[in-house]
Chains A and B, each alone.
Chain A
């Protein structure tokens, strides 16, 4: 049983990311001011609050761990937080930048930067949960304001936040969106992707590219097989699994298998 929090203190921490998930707060429009009444924001650099080492009830963490400094910083965040929530694909699954795990990052650095010795980075990019205990993971690239607010609301009421575990496919059916995989033979990931975006891409007539990450109990191997059966090139299918959530185990496994089986 979670104890209801009266006016929770909140921190928003950024690691390797594009800043897009923090916008779940800053894009609330006038609602942001109402939310600020319900919570006590201790640390949120982009919004002007700096108190990095404050003890807080809820820490929202954006971004993945890619440098030695970040590795240390996340330990402090965990120590200072009662409830740690990851927001977005980077924090939850490593994000798009985890694509560098599949290559030799030192060669990459040498090819982009004249002085790669000045760079400081870990050999791999990893999600927050590989470093500290995470109490709740919000998937999505980016997460929506709704996901973030629902989590805060649930904690204010003293209940565990409810997560939607449906697949994008089910959302499409509810919206009566035309299936892009069946009608166009397109490389749609809806059958294995967690819902939360509102099945946006199919509603635009295009295939889902899995920015919300793998859904529970997804048969990713069967989907890969089916996509190849439609005549889609194996490397294109592999790249689709190895995209925004390339380091999520359910996607990484199939993607790497496809690449290896060439």
Chain B
């Protein structure tokens, strides 16, 4: 057999948030190196929050990610509220869910239509795809805009919204704002239903794999801001015990911080959430998944069903937002008073891309003395590399490099990696074989 080395280098990954690359070397029909490279420069958020007052944190951590600022705000404020032992009102709790619905709608529709769909329909970009499928791209933009409008009502703008504070919200939306928003959302509901059906009939590749799903789980609802951390392998822990089970570490071939659950890669995000929480969905959302006999069921071990999972969560987020808006009333106070005390608190919420874990420590005057932020994309990194190895072997390593490249990019994008989020992703310098 002749010696053959194939090197595939994707210098810049398109249609992902932030900047990443892939280096892959195949030697004698075996994968020799496979590096998901991240060259997003470290920005040291965990350090410059030190010495800041707790009240400055929601506006600071929002800047970690322009795509999911709400997630960073949510995980942080819940940690401080735990430290200060605040009892949130049901009104605050509901509106925090509403805000999260907005972010899921924005982020998921951006991913489904602009970032991922071109892979499955055979285009390089959404504007290119829009020439043949204008209605699909327009539908995505329309649903994304619905998400923006929710975040705008609660936070003034869709990127780095200003409405949230430790203890609740700065302002309650007016009844008129709520009525207008509700009208928009109700009009969008049938469109979201069609989106679910469309994804179930997309003829996504079917490549089953064994992986462990991890997500929050709440007994009464689909998880967003609260719950226990559970996995498909039987984990069931309070978020405070995260460090006892999950480890961040450097792997030999990479300098990026990877994360394992009890020594193994794991999956976060819409598919993991749905795999573990399908039963928590309202009946009408569940029914839609199989309305047209698309044949997709959850839990699913086909990673490509992430597309469907995202669409199901779009449907759910709209459904949940409508429920909350229909019950809306003006509160006596949009926040509860804060009494500062020293302590350590934890926050864990379901960012669009998966569980986002925070640990915050403050002194008696409310100044931050330490923080740790573990974003979903850094946690998914090991799983992405594992998936790539399996997926490329399933495809056949003797395929032309271009075919391998296209498949590899599709696999990576399927996770909707949000690399800007990577508070501690490192820059790599890889030597090509």
Contact = CB atoms under 8 A, between A and B. Distances in A.
Please determine whether chains A and B interact with each other in the same assembly: yes
Interface of A: 14, 16-23, 26-33, 36, 41, 45-50, 52, 66-67, 69-70, 95-97, 99-100, 103, 105, 108-109, 111-115, 118-121, 141-142, 144, 197-198, 200-201, 203-206, 209, 211, 236, 239, 243-244
Contacts of B239: none
A121 B42 contact: yes
Contact of B138 (A33, A111, A236): A33
A142 B67 CA distance: 11
Contacts of B47: 100, 103, 108, 111-112
Interface in B1-44: 12-19, 39-44
B212 interface: no
Contacts of A236: 53
A67 B134 CA distance: 40
A27 B144 contact: yes
Contacts of B13: 45
Given A66-B41, A109-B42, A120-B427, A96 B63 contact: yes
A16 B17 contact: no
B250 interface: yes
Interface of B: 12-19, 39-48, 52-53, 56, 59-60, 63-67, 69, 106, 110, 114-115, 118, 124-128, 130, 134, 137-138, 141-142, 144-145, 148, 156-160, 162-163, 165, 170-171, 249-250, 255, 257, 418, 420, 424, 426-429
A32 B148 CA distance: 14
A119 to B, nearest CB: 6
Given A33-B138, A47-B126, A108-B47, A19 B156 contact: no
B160 A20 contact: yes
Given A16-B41, A36-B127, A66-B41, A119 B63 contact: no
Nearest to A28: B141
A209 B170 CA distance: 14
B159 A112 contact: no
23 contacts: A16-B41, A17-B66, A17-B420, A18-B63, A20-B67, A27-B145, A45-B19, A47-B126, A47-B127, A48-B124, A48-B127, A49-B127, A96-B63, A112-B44, A113-B42, A119-B42, A120-B427, A121-B42, A142-B66, A203-B171, A206-B170, A243-B60, A244-B63
